[in-house]
Structure 1
Amino acid sequence: MRRRARAATAAAAAALALTPALAGCADDEPRPPNQIVVWSLEAQTDRIAAQRAMLAGFTRSTGVSAELVAVDEAQLPQLIASAAQTGDLPDVVGGLPLGYVRQLDRFDVLDRPAATEVMNQLGRDTFAPRTVQMTSEGQESLAVPSDGWAQVLVYRKDLFRQAGLQPPTTYDNLVRAARTLTRDKQFGITLSTDPADVFTQQSFESLALGNDCQLVDRAGAVQITDPPCERTWSTYDQLARSFSPDGRQDVDTTRASYFSGQSAMVLWSTFILDELAGLRNDALPTCGPCQRDRTWLAKNSGVVTAVNGPDGTGAGGFGEVASWAVIKGQNTTGAKRLISYALGDGYTQWMGMAPEGKFPARLGPTPGSQAYVQAWRRLPSGVDTKRRLDAVYDPQTMNAISGVWTNLNRWAIPQGQGSILGPVSAELPISKAVAGMANGSMTPTGAAREARDAVDEIATSGS
């Protein structure tokens, strides 16, 4: 279940590292222009059905037949390497996260000119600027941004109001609220501390970006022990050890803690929004009032898309951008036509697979248009029950979600070092250091140093 970005295994990440210039192994005979093979990382059963419906519309519109191959995200590097050796690469890949875009580009798999041509044809200024920046090198596109999700801080508006607390938009407000609301068997916040889960790294990076704590600089030097990061490590340590439930916390337990009313805040992706609204039966809110009204917790929750620290200077919200990538040496004509369709006539079908985690990167068909954003607002979310998010959440919350691209940032990409993201997500040095800090075996300073050494080793081995 792709409710958030998942880490590839170290072996999978190594598959690309051991196979540079993969595109050179591709079949010299590209497919006919009326046939394409589409690999998609949207591999859940219901999403496969939705994609097939979209591709059927594409075929009716263009006459190009499209074969869909669902791919597990963790296996993508291995599969790309294997397909390159056998001359069986796809023409286009959908749902590609930022780390893989950079990793595949580094190993010469992506067709930059084709992606750039699609972006120019659709209009670069019809996309959210941050998504263009995250998928480009200068004026050249590595891939075409499609949609994405953000890491958000969800908090209990009712408890904040009762305690006279300000929304947790800053480090100070966050810590003050967590301290105040940790009482009477209730915790102020629940944070991920699982060493084996990329969700822990995402949670840490979310707070780090808000304080301008960077993983590396433009020269590739590891920055995770610099002063802004020292504050992030100490803040995460304080929150996790003093104001969060004991024991190892992960993507499931953090959500369960907030849903039960045990915790007053949780860091999670926007994929939580349909579950919080009671639209998924195997992940329902379980708090007392939720038994009478499935939407009670959603109605009493607020959303913050970026928490700014005292050293923060700009965009500080963690998020993921899913992109369409054209594979070099294949049927680029068919691939470009599909991407144009998927970001035009087929866009609402694509976003409709999971609107809570697929906010449109392309805002409208013309510069200044918000047509696709408005269409997104009208899409029903949920698994077992379908309902528009704006029928559950107040305008303030919907506006916060709609503005996720404004705060979007990521480690390493603005510094031109994005290819390190795949290996770091595979080996999880940040998650492991956070876990050691949270269980008391390391100080924040010790955790930062351990993470620095591990990231430095990853960077050195990949250079």
Structure 2
Amino acid sequence: MSAPKSRRGLRAVTCAVMATAVAVGTVGCTPAAQDHDDDTLTVWSLENLPDRVAATRANLDRFTKETGIHVKLVAVDETQIPQLLQSAVLSGDLPDVIGALPLAYVREIDDLDLIDTATTDGIVKDLGAKTFDASAMTLTSDGDRHLSVPSDAWSQIVVYRKDLFAQAGLEPPTTYEAIAKAAHKLTADGRFGITLATDPTDQFTTQTFEALALSNGCQLVDSSGNVTLDSPQCQKTWDLYGDLATKGSPRGTQSVDSTRATYFDGGAAMVVWSTFLLDELAGLRNDAAPACRECADDPQWLAEHSGIVTGMSGPDNPQGSTYGEITSWTVLQGADPGRASRLVKYMMSDGYPDWLGMAPEGKVPVRTGDAEDPHRFINAWEKLEAGVDTKKPLSDIYDSKTMQQLTVAPGKIDSWAIPQGQGQLLGPVAAQLPIAKTASELASGQLTSREAAQQAQREVEDIQKESDR
């Protein structure tokens, strides 16, 4: 399923859509058509993998034991959120709290007036706004209103072969120029310089493009709401993406899985991926382990020979940027403010390390500490064990410089549309994938980079018009 195209689309739900939403079951239950128990909080969590559901359940059980407040946990898939909310609105059975909510959905839910911002304001005040990364506060707020309580973040990173770069006399891929130079020079001897996302059906392609775009100051819209994907800054991003995809990356559709596999088997010298790659890169997950020739004898060989870049810059934006995702807790209208507040504050304090520990490589805390110890949670995070089949702290694998990059990156995360006050556009753009589709056509040679910029501009303008109806 995909997200709705507009607020109007969410409001105008048909019985067929509602029936589809109700039919969706997650972890043996569905959030629609449930009767609320006045003594129980209903929590939807987008952390829906079985091991994370079990870990969250154990965490919430400790909360119940401590407070006497019972919690009903419902794990949902991110792509199902719009339809499940539609159904819940119609049935009058909204959850009390949603956890692990991405920025785009925070804005969409606020656009429906479903967020209890008085309660979220109170939670942030009680926890202390200064204990959070400033960028997380900015991206989850609308003026003086806190739309959600930011929890953790992943960053989009460039992972590169330090050994190959050193042998070729190349600088780390921190700029457009360095990335392009390395991609061209290292495309040789059966190896590609980079493996770049081109899947038209996957948000991963959009995320990869946005990471490069923000690095050059390319924005989706300006502060007046005008789409700017054909601006000079964006044109340079389209130029770079087309150049990399057609001259330095494997041809054909490159997906989230294939890009990882190509880098892991030694077939590419660079990959743009999220920090969720880091445990797999270190050989801690058997079904996604590095398969390079050297990795057979040493599962950590690739991690030891890889460098990580968390921020890039372009010719029009020399200060650079970091792209990633911040996920949050938010309280919905109709929830009991006292109980919901206690739960979120617990998950952001005593229960916080266990929440982060479900996948520390992709859940870097944006609340770094508390009033007593400003580094409490970042210090705890560094000791958390990552991995699936083998578990180790990331600090046992990656050097102190890399760990420092990872810990400060969430405080630098930027995003399209939200700083310009146009965050409500993110959901429809994510759902309809105009960037990913255009990038795919650019990579296949169907479009020139100029045509790609013009096509993306038109398609996002059309989405914007539809959303404004």
Shorter-chain TM band: over 0.9
2:353 alignment counterpart: 348
Query: What SS does the aligned partner of 1:212 have?
Result: coil
CA deviation vs aligned residue, 1:129-171 (integer Å, no higher than 9, x gap)? 1111000012220000001101000001111111111111111
Among candidates 255, 263, 287, match of residue 250 of structure 1: 255
Query: What SS does the aligned partner of 1:78 have?
Result: helix
User: Take 2:261 and 2:282, find their aligned partners in 1: how far apart are those partners?
Assistant: 14
Query: What SS does the aligned partner of 1:271 have?
Result: helix
User: Take 2:197 and 2:412, find their aligned partners in 1: how far apart are those partners?
Assistant: 22
Whether the aligned pair in 2 keeps the contact of 1:230 and 1:445 (CA below 8 Å) is yes
Whether the aligned pair in 2 keeps the contact of 1:15 and 1:77 (CA below 8 Å) is no
User: Take 2:12 and 2:200, find their aligned partners in 1: how far apart are those partners?
Assistant: 33
Residue 312 of structure 1 deviates from its aligned partner by: 1.2
| Residue identity in the other structure for 2:281 | L
How many residues end up aligned between the 2 structures? 449
Aligned pairs for 1:141-220 (under 5 A) are 141-220=146-225
TM-score, normalised by the number of residues in structure 2:
0.93
2:9 alignment counterpart: 18
User: Take 1:238 and 1:254, find their aligned partners in 2: how far apart are those partners?
Assistant: 17
2:303 corresponds to 1:298? yes
2:400 corresponds to 1:390? no
| Residue identity in the other structure for 1:19 | L
2:451 corresponds to 1:446? yes
Identity score, percent: 49
The structure-2 alpha-carbon separation of the partners of 1:382 and 1:16, relative to structure 1 and needing over 3 Å to count, comes to farther
Whether the aligned pair in 2 keeps the contact of 1:30 and 1:330 (CA below 8 Å) is no
Among candidates 397, 403, 409, match of residue 404 of structure 1: 409
User: Take 2:47 and 2:411, find their aligned partners in 1: how far apart are those partners?
Assistant: 25
Aligned pairs for 1:76-95 (under 5 A) are 76-95=81-100
Query: What SS does the aligned partner of 1:154 have?
Result: strand
Among candidates 101, 105, 120, match of residue 100 of structure 1: 105
Aligned pairs for 1:310-459 (under 5 A) are 310-312=315-317, 314=319, 316-366=321-371, 369-459=374-464
Residue 194 of structure 1 deviates from its aligned partner by: 0.8
Whether the aligned pair in 2 keeps the contact of 1:30 and 1:329 (CA below 8 Å) is no
Among candidates 48, 53, 58, match of residue 53 of structure 2: 48
User: Take 1:19 and 1:381, find their aligned partners in 2: how far apart are those partners?
Assistant: 38
What is the RMSD computed on CA atoms of the aligned residues? 1.7
Range with greater deviation from structure 2 (309-318 or 324-333): 309-318
Among candidates 225, 231, 236, match of residue 226 of structure 1: 231
User: Take 1:446 and 1:73, find their aligned partners in 2: how far apart are those partners?
Assistant: 32
2:288 corresponds to 1:278? no
Residue 21 of structure 1 deviates from its aligned partner by: 11
Whether the aligned pair in 2 keeps the contact of 1:315 and 1:407 (CA below 8 Å) is no
CA deviation vs aligned residue, 1:106-126 (integer Å, no higher than 9, x gap)? 111111111111001100000
Whether the aligned pair in 2 keeps the contact of 1:212 and 1:313 (CA below 8 Å) is no
- Which portions of structure 1, spanning 4 or more consecutive aligned residues, are displaced by more than 4 angstroms? none
Unaligned runs of 5+ in 1: 1-7
Residue 407 of structure 1 deviates from its aligned partner by: 2.6
User: Take 1:292 and 1:170, find their aligned partners in 2: how far apart are those partners?
Assistant: 34
Query: What SS does the aligned partner of 2:74 have?
Result: strand
Whether the aligned pair in 2 keeps the contact of 1:189 and 1:244 (CA below 8 Å) is yes
